């Protein structure tokens, strides 16, 4: 990764921030984007203190023009772009029957359209470098999770988009990977949207029992170097994908029962 230029959306916390450090320690020049200037400044200072050449760009990935400007700022500073990591995302938890439809729109705007916009403007430069386009997805992109209709829909859409893009670019030397961390200790559940669009606040899961963001980032770094097609992490994640393919009816029941055990779960038999 020495002297590679890596752009990470949602790069100021959780997996995104861990990715910035993982790639940066390998010698990459790192660009992180986010919506909060204070968090951007703090992350940039931390990266610089670790000796990582970096640029922090304020951008909301749900806004097409800001994605274009984010890519332009990257190329203006470093002259090229080797790796785009579409990491920015939000989650939700509510039954569809109770859900304000604006919640699904917001998730699609950030998780799906954010990936589309960033990739659209980054792709000409990645074609030049024969680099990588990476989507940080979820097991929810393979298997619909109850009380996460909007989240699952956005990740299924991301999968379809990136799989199609990979096929279109098959003979152009560009690497496209979908990475699915499984349940990871991060702030995504704290900022998840409730039925009315407000932030959930408290995670319903035991964050301490999950894979850390740093572990996830290390695995994504290794998979990027190997130019892997797909990366499904955790035994639970791999088992869910396998069972959903071969025993979908059973998986419906297993997934319902598992998600119903969450603290304050809206799922009731």
Query: Any idea which residues carry the catalytic annotation?
Result: 151
Alpha-carbon gap, residue 156 to 151, rounded angstroms: 9
Q: DSSP 3-state assignment of 101?
A: helix
Helix (H) or strand (E) holding 102: helix 101-107
Q: How would you class 62 by CB atoms within 10 Å of its CB: exposed for 0-12, middle for 13-18, buried for 19 or more?
A: buried
Give the residue among 162, 108, 107, 145 at the shortest CA–CA distance from 241. 145
Alpha-carbon gap, residue 121 to 33, rounded angstroms: 15
Alpha-carbon gap, residue 240 to 222, rounded angstroms: 23
């Amino acid at each position: 990764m020495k002297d590679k230029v890596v752009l990470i959306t949602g790069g100021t916390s959780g997996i995104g921030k861990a990715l910035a450090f993982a790639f940066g320690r390998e010698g990459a020049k790192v660009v992180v984007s986010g919506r909060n200037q204070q968090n951007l400044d703090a992350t940039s200072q931390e990266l610089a203190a670790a000796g990582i050449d970096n640029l922090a760009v304020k951008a909301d990935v749900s806004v097409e023009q800001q994605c274009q400007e984010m890519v332009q700022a990257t190329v203006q500073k470093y002259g090229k772009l080797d790796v785009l990591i579409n990491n920015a995302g939000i989650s939700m938890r509510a039954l569809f029957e109770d859900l304000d439809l604006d919640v699904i729109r917001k998730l699609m705007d950030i998780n799906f359209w954010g990936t589309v916009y960033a990739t659209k403007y980054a792709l000409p430069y990645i074609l030049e470098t024969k680099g990588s386009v990476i989507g940080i997805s979820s097991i929810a992109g393979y298997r619909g999770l109850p009380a996460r209709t909007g989240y699952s829909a956005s990740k299924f859409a991301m999968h379809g988009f990136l799989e199609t893009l990979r096929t279109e670019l098959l003979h152009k030397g560009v690497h496209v990977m979908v990475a699915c961390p499984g349940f990871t200790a991060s702030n995504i559940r704290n900022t998840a949207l409730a039925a009315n669009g407000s932030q959930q606040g408290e995670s319903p899961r035991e964050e301490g029992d999950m894979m850390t963001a740093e572990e996830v980032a290390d695995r994504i770094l290794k998979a990027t170097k190997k130019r892997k097609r797909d990366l499904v992490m955790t035994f639970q994640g791999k088992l869910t994908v396998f069972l959903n393919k071969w025993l979908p009816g059973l998986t419906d029941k297993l997934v319902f029962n598992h998600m119903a055990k969450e603290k304050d779960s809206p799922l009731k038999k």
